[in-house]
Structure 1
Amino acid sequence: MPGMNLTREEAQARAEIVNVDSYEVVLDLTVSDKVFGSHTTVRFSATEGTSTFIDAVTSCVRSVNLNGVELDPTEVSDGVRITLPDLAAENTLVIDADALYMNTGEGLHRFVDPVDAEVYLYSQFEVPDSRRMFAVFEQPDLKAAFAFTVTAPAHWDVISNAPTPEPLDAHEGAKTWAFSPTDRISSYITALIAGPYQCVRSELTSSDGRTIPLGVFARASLMKHLDAENIFTLTRQGFEFFEEQFGTPYPFEKYDQLFVPEFNAGAMENAGAVTFLESYIFRSRPTEAMVERRAITVLHELAHMWFGDLVTMRWWNDLWLNESFAEFMSTLAAAQNTEFTSSWTTFNILEKNWAYRQDQLPSTHPIKAEINDLEDVLVNFDGITYAKGASVLRQLVAWVGQEQFMAGVRQYFDKHAWTNTELPDLMRELEAASGRDLSQWSKLWLETAGVNTLRARIETDASSVITSFAIDQSAIEEHPVIRPHRLAVGFYDLDSSGSLMRVHREELDVAGETTDVPALVGRKRPDLVLVNDDDLAYTKIRLDASSLATATEHLKDFTDSLPRTLVWSAVWDAVRDAETPARDFVELVLGNIGHETDSTVVMVLLRQLNTALDYYIDRGHAPAARRATADRLWELARDAKAGSDAQLQFTTAFANLAHTGAQLDAVGALLSATIELEGLTVDADLRWDLLTSLCAGGRAEAAAIEAELVRDATSTGQLAAHTARAAIPTAEAKRTAWDAVIAGTLSNLEQRAAISGFNRVHDPKLISSYLEEYFASVGTVWKSKSYEIAQQIATGLYPSAQVSESTLATTDAFLGALGDSSPALHRLIVESRESVVRALAAQAADAEGTAH
């Protein structure tokens, strides 16, 4: 990404001499299907006589006028930045340019719906891409008021941060929408969504008595699937909860939620105009896990309206606080004010597992990361920034109390509304509200990396009465910090009905390498001891031998989902750390997953099952394990309750693993309806799952894919077709997919789909020859493509399926040659390399494990 970087030092220097008042941005979306007109007027003050630059990624710059003086665009613009010399105390800058539509999910993305050939646009600016739509001082601390005026086809709807005005006639077939100025916000949360979107509207009353208009938008071809009332219900619940907790009314004039095509992330917190990926519109039956994920995402983005949009980080080193806060608050809101009362279970299995995985990579970093430039922040949208930070905030709330925590947050919003802050600004308010000195807590938790491990050490007498109970804490050599934890210890016993019930809970502070727990001495040792019961602390746990034996035999007998999930997580973590043979984990999952009641837990366990089979089982035993697992999943699908979530998940998981003749026969029979499972609807998405299974198994080819596209001629169908074509197990199919990805002929989601299909192999040898080709091309890819596209390729095509010392040696040779020339690419490849290191260790542990 040549010339696109911005360093922290450059941003700080610019902020010292520039203060921005306003932007007037005039866009013409009727120019062509490649570019649009972008005319920007910026009013700003500056230190007189200094020079700076404004960011503007352009196709061409026609004119630059600074304080009435015409500057030569060929001299001051390089297509990324425009130099601004000899500034006055008060400045007016006018730039007339053309900008490029994107198909990468960055900047102003352009999409053509294959159903009706209509054009849909949306902006995605986080981190540095508002400069792709208009000239802007692209950094979060230079807030300003933004007024957009947009000319677009007359039949379109145009949505931005401010309420949509009545359009005026422009030239033939076009209208112009002139939006009122926003409050002072950062450029990355401005937004433009334009096209023939359709809308369902509602409203709510804010805590200050204002009527807040609500809108839920989608493409016309998806409106029949949009369950807008569910979105409105969650939005109202979120408004109620956040306004009460934050003591601050919703800060904007309206709240629109827009489902947009080919979106790279889950959602984006544009002020008053949040965008979501279209997968959250359920055209086929969703799993309960997906419904809950959407709910958490809706609440996450709503929380950002306060934390991130109203009060914004000064620089991207505090990105974690934006994302961690929204992640924590969305789960808290779901648990306390929606139907998703078990959301902390979901948080553990999904978010915390992500955090633990990220925190054990060589690239792990403190929650408060050092962000030197834009490349640093782009790779920091990770499990530390989101999930570990949210976990640590939950730990802080457990330590100081929720009411005290929220009291500090309320003061924070009162003092800093519409401004930029840094971490100490929040910590001062939390200290004042809680009466605690948080400096040492902040240092240990936010400024150091790594995860600790806790184990219970228990001694008993002959009657099984506890004579000594201690919690031992350890850390790895690379990150040796021992931290304080507020946690609970749970005692669980089997009752007469066979249920595993909690019989005692002891909450305490754990600090140092050993913490004695005298309150538990004299109690009878229970069947199972669970350290970090209720999941208050951020830590890995290990079960003692007796508790592990109980958990292994009675995992399904927990009456509550969270303790059961904590055990699942502990066992999986031990597999990843090469302490437990992967085949033991597979047996544990297959023996208990049929009794699991939480949809997200089932989803994650099935993913972990695939990882164990593909990477962690000794290669000599892997083929038999894959066959047996697929057969067992088919049994589970047939035995599951008719129409249940588990039935759907087991069927999809079976199709993913099916590869023997009999297994593929069953997949084909499901697709052709010669076999039917009562209650299971083979709808559009499931049909693609089954067809892709047949393609990967060599049972279906291009003609079958084209026939399915006739049945499902939608953008979702087209993406599924990219995956299915690339999954065909022939050298020709793999070469076609590889070349399309490397050449850059695909959009962002088409590329992602093709990469998924390319990696869909039952025999990794089929794509082993691409190892050298990957390293020969990835450097050029990184230099020539946008970040989103390059990152997908760098991580998605890394040869992780080739688990061998040779892969590590080739990777190391590349990294050595790369040196310090591209830190972001270096980090991505180091992280991918670690997956091979773990796989080799896990395979060795599995080979040495107990006989099976």
Structure 2
Amino acid sequence: MPSLTLDEARERAAQLTEVAYAVDLDLTDAETFGSRTLVRFRSASSQTFLELTGAVEIEVRVNGAAADATYDGSRIRLNHLATDGVNEVEVDARLPYVTDGDGMHRTVDPADGEAYVGAYLGMDIAHKVYACFDQNDLKASFDVTVVADPTWTVLANGRTVEQDAGRWRFATTPPIPPALLVVAAGPWASVRWEHAGLDFAWHARASLATELARDAEELKAVTVGCFDHYAEIFAEPYPFDSYDQAFVPGLNWGAQEMPGCVTYRDEMLPRGAVPEDLRLLRTAVIAHEMAHMWFGDLVTMTWWEDTWLQESFADYLGYRVAADGAGTPGALVGHEARGKPAAYDADERRSTHPVAPDPEDVPDVDAAMTIFDSISYAKGNSVLRQLATWLGDDAFLAGVNAYLTRHRFGNATLADFVAALDEASDRDVHAWVEVWLRRTGFDTLRVERDGDVPVVHRDGVRPHRIRVTAYDDQWVETGTAFVDVADDPVPLPELSGRFVVPNSHGETFARIVLDPATAAAAATGLCRIDDELVRGVLWTMYVDQVHTRALDAATFVELVAQHLPGERSVTLVSAVLERTLDRVLPLRLPAAAVPGALGELAGACGTGLLHATTPERALAFAAGVAATSSDAGSLREWLDAGAAGTLPLTPTLRWAVVRRLAELGAADADLVEAERSRDPGTDADLGAAAALAARPTPEAKAGAWAVAADPTVGNRLFRATLGGLWVAGQAELLAPYVERYLREGARWAARGQAFAQQVGHARPTIELTDGQVALLDEVLAGEVPTVLRRAWEDWRDDLG
């Protein structure tokens, strides 16, 4: 299908006004669904087009008559429109369900056989569900009706105003973008309450009712805490009539900000004990999606170059409000240890782009998909945090509120936001925007010594306001200074003779370089620092050094082995292990050295598990052991006992053990199937797929490939299968599949943008040979879909 271009969007936005939709969906059939759309609008031209993709049946009527319209499978060309009144176009169609999370996704829960249907929309997806003008700056009101199994609960953007015999009708929405319509239908387990005069609820699959009940009070408290905090900092009230939140199966994103009804991937409601780092992340995501009710839903970007006006703000506010509203300041450590390293990596690849690019740099929606990345999220978050620090919080919030009020229920651009900030501050916001938002890359903040006096230097062009924290030789904090760093070096005589960490709480986005004395001390004393945020900043410094090859990968693994057992933050334990296993070992360590490195990591995690003082830390270290240990006997003992020592195995951890046993050749198909049968469900199906793919036999690899290459494979099963396929130490066995992945990936990616992302994420995580790298270069020289090309070019850059 053609990708909507910037020129087409601008032309259509100039032509159409007063758009409104009535959408009627029929979900009673298991093969296809009915979609009837009545769209009303005024047009300055007699011609335009609606998008609708993949209709298997279609009828179109324009202003009450059979349409003078053509349909090519993705667009309905409308002719002879009225230019002096309101047009009414009615489209009746039947459309297929999808299994890839892009459209009307249908899932059957393997735990109980119950079906769930969700309209998972977003950029360039709405037209897979209903006929529409699919662009942000044609916001419209929606009247939605759904026919479904009368035993189900159906959710949508507005509150339910009528429900009778399997038919739900929802309140008319205020103006929202077409991409943000949502429907989620099935036999949901629900927790409901009222707050601030509104109906609130959390929903999950019926098979997760126990888990929803387990977390209900926490989820309610986080929701209410964030909601009340936004009411304090925003002048604009919450703009919708209710607030549902649902854990749904098959969602491609971590969550989506649909007005009045937020969806979350249901992995965020795990069975068994909830890992502490997931709990903190979940809180930040709840706050993030709620921020979108204002940034993205109330005020929407005009075109996709201003993705940052939504995602950077939601990411920044998510961590801020998780701390200030929900009372979980530890969530910010996840941004420092996971988000920022990914953003630094992204900002040094050929695909980097300004936080706020020019609209012409995003010529169509396929290109737009490639900037939903670490630049628009984590770097943009960091940049906004620096902006608030640099301007002062009062001026920052004054500008934010002026922007939201001025453009409520409309569309806006970077210029609109800058104008609001400029009015609220006497600082030169335009100059700040030019160096921070319009340029790629980042500065370096270095500490040197003038005798005993630390001096902070900036290599770059951006103004920074940062905190510098000082320590004695036992790594006890002895002082802090906030400093502005620009062209001139900044001496800190008040911190003379002490170790110092610049940007110690991550107030800016910059590489840091410690002075030699502090660097040497940090390498031996890292785990003694009390403040977990400072430790997070230093861990990020080390992973950045490995990425740039300033630090040898083997030395980094030694550093991890030395300090990880003493790490008190579960988030840092998990983040450092993920980075080491996902990027350091496959990208920076020779394959021959990987087994030894895994042994070091397994030993460190085993020590951490032995001395863990909380169940949360024990769970994090046990997960590390399960991912790295080569002691099949001990892992089998865990499986047989259902516990790692005194720590019960959660379903996720249990499947991690099974997968590692499979990688080691110590779990055959019978064992995997027995595990699947003992506790059926989504966890079991995906865990079994990964474990079966991980076995070191030609038959296992061939079977896994057949699953992944099925053109109807679901998004979750695809990722689980290829995630299990690539195992360090199986390079010879996997060589044919590296080539097949590169040869066949572009065809898989043709399913759509989100599946193309899945294909890119499922790349081989093993060391490539020179010949395989050459094949990657050859493939990239040919035709590759835009979204997959971005992922593969990033991979190529990381390979060096």
Both structures adopt the same fold (TM-score exceeding 0.5)? yes
Is the counterpart of residue 635 in structure 1 residue 600 in structure 2?
no
Distance 1:452 1:767 in 2: 40
Out of 220, 228, 231, the residue aligned to residue 232 of structure 1 is 220
Structure 1 residue 188 displacement after superposition: 1.2
Aligned length: 792
Q: 1:254 to 1:98 in 2, by over 3 A?
A: same
Contact 1:800 1:835 in 2 (8 A): no
Which residue number in structure 2 is paired with residue 78 of structure 1?
Answer: 72
Aligned pairs (5 A) from 1:448-847: 448-460=439-451, 465-466=452-453, 469-474=455-460, 482-494=461-473, 498=474, 500-512=475-487, 515-518=488-491, 520-521=492-493, 524-526=496-498, 528-610=499-581, 611-641=583-613, 644-659=615-630, 663-673=631-641, 676-678=644-646, 680-783=647-750, 785-797=751-763, 799-818=764-783, 822-837=785-800
Aligned-residue offset at 1:773: 2.0
Residue 162, structure 1, aligned to residue 158, structure 2: yes
Q: CA deviation at 1:36?
A: 1.0
Residue aligning to 1:478 = none
2:648 partner SS: coil
Q: Is the 2:565–2:605 Cα contact (8 Å) retained in structure 1? A: no
Is residue 189–residue 208 contact of structure 2 (8 Å, CA) maintained in 1? no
Paired residue for 1:287, among 269, 272, 275? Answer: 275
1:305 maps to which of 265, 287, 293: 293
Between 1:828-837 and 1:691-700, the stretch displaced more is 828-837
Cα 1:560–1:635 shift into 2, 3 Å: closer
Check conservation: 2:726, 2:765, Cα contact below 8 A.
no
Which residue identity is paired with 1:153?
D
Determine which of 1, 6, 9 is the counterpart of 1:8.
6
Distance 1:608 1:27, change over 3 A: closer
| CA displacement at 1:618 relative to structure 2 | 4.0
Between the aligned partners of 2:745 and 2:594, the Cα distance in structure 1 is 30
1:490 CA displacement = 2.2
Tell me if structure 2 keeps the 8 A contact 1:454–1:531.
yes
Q: Secondary structure at the match of 2:88?
A: strand
Q: In the TM superposition, what is the alpha-carbon distance from 1:815 to its structure 2 partner?
A: 1.8
CA-CA distance at 1:675 after TM superposition: 7.6
Question: Match of 1:847?
Answer: none
Q: Contact conserved, 1:391 with 1:538, CA < 8 A, in 2?
A: yes
- Note the C-alpha offset of 1:5: 1.2
Deviation of 1:723 after TM superposition, in Å, equals: 0.9
Deviations 1:687-733 (A, max 9, x none): 21111111111011111111111111112211111111111111111
CA distance in 2, matches of 1:523, 1:11: 56
**Aligned-residue offset at 1:198:** 2.1
| Distance (whole Å) between structure 2 residues aligned to residue 509 and residue 807 of structure 1 | 48
Indicate if the aligned counterparts of 1:723 and 1:756 stay in contact, CA closer than 8 A: yes
1:21 is matched with which residue? 19
Residue equivalent to 2:431: 440
1:798-823 residue CA offsets vs partner (Å, 9 max, x unmatched)? x45233433332222222233xx744
SS in 2 for 1:167: strand
Name the counterpart of 1:844: none
CA distance in 1, matches of 2:533, 2:643: 37
Q: Which amino acid aligns with 2:20?
A: S
TM-score (norm 2): 0.96
Tell me which of 239, 255, 280 is aligned to 1:251: 239
SS at match of 1:216: strand
**Contact residue 58 and residue 97 of structure 1 kept, 8 A:** no
Go from structure 1 to structure 2 and tell me whether the alpha carbon gap of 1:621 and 1:771 turns closer, same or farther (over 3 Å shift).
closer
1:46 paired with 2:43, answer: yes
The Cα RMSD (Å) is: 1.8
Cα distance in structure 2, aligned partners of 1:578 and 1:56: 48
How far apart are 1:826 and its partner, in Å?
2.5
1:532, CA displacement in angstroms?
1.4
Residues 300 and 326, structure 1, Cα contact 8 Å, conserved in 2 = yes
| Structure 1 residues 241 and 523, CA gap change in structure 2 (3 angstroms) | closer
Match of 1:242 among 215, 230, 241: 230
Tell me, yes or no, if structure 1 residue 223 matches structure 2 residue 220: no
> Could you tell me which amino acid in structure 1 is paired with residue 605 of structure 2?
L
- Could you tell me how far 1:739 is from its partner in structure 2? 2.4
Say if 2:471 and 2:500, in contact at 8 Å, map to a contact too: yes
- Whether contact under 8 Å (1:666, 1:675) holds in the other structure is no
Contact 2:564 2:604 in 1 (8 A): no
Closer/same/farther in 2, CA of residues 618 and 815 from structure 1, 3 Å limit: closer
Q: How far did residue 246 of structure 1 move?
A: 1.0
Q: Cα distance, 1:604 vs. partner? A: 0.6
1:469 positional shift = 2.5
CA displacement at 1:68 relative to structure 2: 2.5
Q: CA deviation at 1:557?
A: 1.6
Looking at structure 2, the residues matched to 721 and 674 of structure 1 have their Cα atoms a distance apart, in angstroms, of 17
CA distance in 2, matches of 1:167, 1:469: 68
Give the aligned residue type for 2:59. Answer: S
Q: Pick from 159, 169, 173 the counterpart of residue 178 of structure 1.
A: 169
Equivalent-residue separation in structure 2 for 1:579 and 1:293 (angstroms): 30
Aligned residue type for 2:242: K
Say whether residues 1:125 and 2:121 are aligned partners.
Answer: yes
8 A Cα contact 1:196 1:219, kept in partner: yes
Gaps spanning 5+ residues in structure 1: where? 170-174, 206-210, 475-481, 838-852
How far apart are 1:13 and its partner, in Å? Answer: 0.8
How many Å separate the matches in 2 of 1:580 and 1:538? Answer: 20
Instruction: Give the secondary structure class of the aligned counterpart of 1:76.
Output: strand
Q: Which amino acid aligns with 2:237?
A: P
How far did 1:779 drift?
Answer: 2.8
Counterpart AA for 1:452:
D
Q: Relative to 1, partners in 2 of residues 1:323 and 1:556: Cα closer, same or farther, differing over 3 Å? A: same
Corresponding residue SS for 2:160 = coil
Deviations 1:486-521 (A, max 9, x none): 222222213xxx4x2332323222223xx2224x24
| AA at the equivalent of 2:127 | R
1:104·1:789 contact (CA, 8 Å) conserved in 2? Answer: yes
Following the alignment from structure 1 to structure 2, what is the Cα–Cα distance between the partners of residues 445 and 676?
48
Distance 2:48 2:495 in 1: 70
Shift of 1:348: 0.9
TM-score (norm 1): 0.90
Kindly provide the amino acid, as one letter, of the partner of residue 698 in structure 2.
Answer: A
Secondary structure of the residue that 2:472 maps to in structure 1? strand
How far residue 825 of structure 1 moved from its aligned partner, in angstroms, is 3.1
Give the whole-Å Cα distance in 2 for the aligned partners of 1:216 and 1:99: 29
Q: Distance in 2 between matches of 1:621 and 1:29?
A: 54
Q: Identity percentage over the alignment? A: 33
Distance of 1:523 and 1:115 partners within structure 2: 60
Go from structure 1 to structure 2 and tell me whether the alpha carbon gap of 1:40 and 1:622 turns closer, same or farther (over 3 Å shift): closer
- CA drift of 1:638 comes to 2.5
* Aligned residues of 1:630 and 1:654 also touching (Cα < 8 A): yes
Residue among 408, 417, 420 paired with 2:408:
417
SS of 1:166's equivalent in the other structure is: strand
Q: Could you list the per-position Cα deviations for residues 282-306 of structure 1 after superposition, in whole angstroms to 9, with x for gaps in the alignment?
A: 3111210000011001110111111
